[in-house]
């Protein structure tokens, strides 16, 4: 799947298509999808794609998701910032914690070492 198709699916919150192409989505977790340096979590969060975020966050690649959640775009924003800006009306606390947990865990580990 090319990046443009994935961006289209994320922007449309087409979780069915994202789930169908999950192996390709997992490969793109650490890849910028646009010139703004945003990855799949950034694009889904900015678009208000809560269903797609759920699919991505539960994809089984915890390290990839953590790396994507911990990546800043060119404006210095994490996916969590974009999700908050989008004011996702049906954004569950569980999804919010899935985005926050990798950041918190990284900082806890850094301060323990």
CB of 70 closer than 8 Å to CB of 109 = no
pLDDT at 111: 66
Q: What percent of the chain has pLDDT over 70?
A: 87
Q: How confident is the model at residue 50 (pLDDT cuts 50, 70, 90)?
A: confident
pLDDT at 90: 58
Q: What's the CATH code of the domain at 108?
A: 1.25.40.20
Task: Identify the domain containing residue 88 by its residue range.
Answer: 3-112
Whole-model pTM: value is: 0.74
Q: Shortest CA distance to 71 belongs to which of 111, 13, 29?
A: 29
The structural domain count of the chain equals 1
CB of 17 closer than 8 Å to CB of 26 = no
pLDDT at 41: 92
Residue 23 backbone phi and psi in degrees, to 5: -65, -40
CA 95 to chain centre: 10
pLDDT at 100 over 70: yes
């Amino acid at each position: 799947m090319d990046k443009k198709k994935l961006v289209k699916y994320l922007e449309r919150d087409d979780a069915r298509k994202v789930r169908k192409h999950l192996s390709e989505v997992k490969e793109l977790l650490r890849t910028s999808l646009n010139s703004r340096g945003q990855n799949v979590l950034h694009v889904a969060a900015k678009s208000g794609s809560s269903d797609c975020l759920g699919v991505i966050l539960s994809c089984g690649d915890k390290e990839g998701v953590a790396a994507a959640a911990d990546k800043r775009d060119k404006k210095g924003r994490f996916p969590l910032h974009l999700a908050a800006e989008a004011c996702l009306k049906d954004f569950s606390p569980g999804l919010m914690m899935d985005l926050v947990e990798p950041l918190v865990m990284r900082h806890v580990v850094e301060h323990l070492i």
